[in-house]
Amino acid sequence: MKTLRKYILGAATAALMTTGATSVSAVEIEYWQYFYDARVTAMETLIGNFEKANPDITVKMSHFPYADYRTKVAAAIPAGEGPDVVQLFYGWLNDYVDAKLIQPLPASEFPPAEIEAQFFPMVSAMRRGDNYMALPTAVRSLALFYNKRLFEEAGVEGPPANLDELVEIAKKIAKHDGAGNLTQVGITVGMTAQDHHWFREVLVRQFGGDPYTGDYKTVNYNSDSGKKALEFYTGLEKNHKVTATNFMDEPQAAFKAGRAGMHIDGSFRIGSLKKIRGLKWGVAELPAGPDGLQSNYSSYWVNGITSKAQGEKFDAAVKFMKYVTSDEAMQIWLDTVGELPAKPSAALTEKNANDPVFGPFIKGLAYAHTTKFANESGQRQILMDMVQRTDLEGQSVADSIAQAAEAEQKLLDEYYK
C-alpha cells in the first residue's frame, strides 16, 4: 500500500508540475487592426495557420472602426494594455515612432539587407537606422473599377485608355433628372477616399509635373502641371457635369450601389466588391495622361511590435511577424482581401500578373510612387480643403492650389525643422 500510495503521490506531483510548466510556456499575444470585413477574415485564417504551427502561442485579435482606431491604440499601449502586434498605415509611422508606441524589429530576425532584397523597394520607408520598425503583408496600388452593365447600356465597349476617353465615357453614362440633378454618375469623385492620391501622385505627374521635391520635403504642385491637374479634376463636376462630390456621400457607396460607371480605388476594395450580388464589374489600369504618361500611387499597411510586448510576448510577437510577412501569408491575403503581396516573389507569379482583377493593380506597381507623408491625415485634409474652396467658395484653381501648397509646406517645415 505504501508503495502504491507513494506512486500515486509522485504521479500527482509530476502531473501538477507538467500542468504548471504548460501554463508558463503558453503565451497569448494580442493583435489589433481596424475593421474591414475582408481583412478580418484574412487575419483569422493567418492566425489559425500560425497557431497550428505554434501550439504554445495564442493570438487574440481585436478590431475597431477606422475612425476610432488610432485613438484607441494611442491610449492603450502607454497604459501597458492593448496589442502586442499592431497594424498601422505606413504614413503614420513617424507618429508611432515619436510616441514610442512601437519598437524596432530585431535585426537578427529581420536583417535590413535581406528585407531590401526580398520586398518591393517602397518598404524601405519603414527603416530607421539599422532596424526596420514595421513590415507589410501586402501593398496597394490604384486602378479603375468599371461597371460592365452601365458600360453596355451606354454602348461603351471597354474601359478608357486615357483621360480624354474617361471624360467621353463618363458623359455617356451620367444621367440627370428633370431638374438637372445627377441620378447616376459617370465617375465617382471624393478627396476623402483615394482621390487625393490620384491627384497628388498620378494627375500632377501625368500633366508633366512632380508633386514634391527634396525627398517629399518641398511642395512642388503649385505649378502649371498642378493647375492643369486640378482643373481636370474639378472640371469633371463643374464643366462636364458627370459627377458630384456629395453623390451618395461616399464614392465607393455609389459604385457598390450600381449608380456609378467608374470608380478609382485601391486593390483592397476587391474583397468587398466580390460579395455584392448582381454587380458586374471589371478592373483596368489607370487611364494615361497627355502624351500617354502613366503613373500610379502605391501604399501599404504594416504590422509592428508594440512597446508593450516584452519577454516571452516579444519572442512570440517576432514569430508571428515572421509568419505574416511570409510568401504563404501574402498569397492568402491577396486571395481574401485583394491587396497585393509585398514581395515580388509572391506578387509577380504568372497567375497573379495575368489575373483579370489583380493584374491591373500588379502592373501599376511598376510605375507607382509612394508618398512619404509627414502627417498623412493633415496632408489629406489640405487637399480636401483645396477642392472644397473651388466648389463651395468659388475660389479659382490658381488661388486655391497656391493656398494649399503654402499650408502643406508649413506643415512639412514644422515637422522636419
In terms of residue numbers, what domain contains 108?
28-138+299-358
Position 23 in a domain: no
- The span from the CA of 24 to the CA of 412, in Å, is 48
How long a stretch of residues is the chain? 417
Instruction: Tell me: do 174 and 286 sit in the same domain.
Output: yes
| Residue 282 grid coordinates | 471589371
Instruction: Tell me: do 49 and 167 sit in the same domain.
Output: no
Report yes or no: 142 and 296 within 8 Å, Cβ to Cβ: yes
Give residue 25's pLDDT. 60
Report yes or no: 60 and 28 within 8 Å, Cβ to Cβ: yes
Q: How far does Cα 153 stand from its chain's mean position?
A: 33
Instruction: Tell me: do 83 and 231 sit in the same domain.
Output: no
Position 364 in a domain: no
Kindly provide the b/e burial profile for residues 121-151, where b requires at least 16 CB atoms within 10 angstroms of the residue's own CB: ebbebbbeeeebbbbbbbbbbbbbbbbeebb
Give residue 392's pLDDT. 83
Instruction: Tell me: do 263 and 379 sit in the same domain.
Output: yes
Q: Where does residue 258 rank: exposed (0-12), middle (13-18), buried (19+ CB within 10 A)?
A: middle
The last residue of a domain, from among 334, 358, 382: 358
Give residue 320's pLDDT. 98
Instruction: Tell me: do 258 and 242 sit in the same domain.
Output: yes
Position 12 in a domain: no
Give residue 271's pLDDT. 83
Position 13 in a domain: no
Instruction: Tell me: do 351 and 392 sit in the same domain.
Output: no
Instruction: Tell me: do 289 and 389 sit in the same domain.
Output: yes
Position 7 in a domain: no
For residue 306, the domain's CATH number is: 3.40.190.10
- The span from the CA of 295 to the CA of 264, in Å, is 13
Q: Residue 54 — φ and ψ, nearest 5°?
A: -130, 75
Task: State the Rg of the chain over Cα.
Answer: 25
- pLDDT tens for the chain, residues 1 to 417: 444 344 333 433 343 333 333 334 699 999 999 998 889 999 999 999 999 999 999 999 999 998 899 999 999 999 999 999 999 999 889 889 999 999 999 999 999 999 999 999 889 989 999 999 999 999 999 999 999 999 999 999 999 999 999 999 999 999 999 998 999 999 999 998 899 999 999 999 999 999 999 989 999 999 999 999 999 999 999 999 999 998 998 899 999 999 999 999 998 898 889 889 999 999 999 999 999 999 999 989 999 999 999 999 999 999 999 999 999 999 999 989 888 999 999 988 888 888 999 999 999 988 999 998 888 889 999 999 999 999 888 999 999 999 999 999 999 999 988
Number of neighbouring beta carbons within 10 Å of residue 284:
17
Instruction: Tell me: do 186 and 48 sit in the same domain.
Output: no
Position 328 in a domain: yes
Instruction: Tell me: do 242 and 389 sit in the same domain.
Output: yes
Instruction: Tell me: do 334 and 381 sit in the same domain.
Output: no
Instruction: Tell me: do 35 and 94 sit in the same domain.
Output: yes
- The structural domain count of the chain equals 2
**Phi-psi group of 53: left, alpha or beta (phi > 0 → left; psi -120 to 50 → alpha; rest → beta):** alpha
Instruction: Tell me: do 105 and 123 sit in the same domain.
Output: yes
Angle between helices 327-336 and 312-324 (to 10 degrees): 60
The last residue of a domain, from among 358, 389, 407: 358
Sign of the torsion formed by the C-alpha atoms of 64, 68, 72 and 73 = positive
Position 173 in a domain: yes
Report yes or no: 323 and 329 within 8 Å, Cβ to Cβ: yes
Position 4 in a domain: no
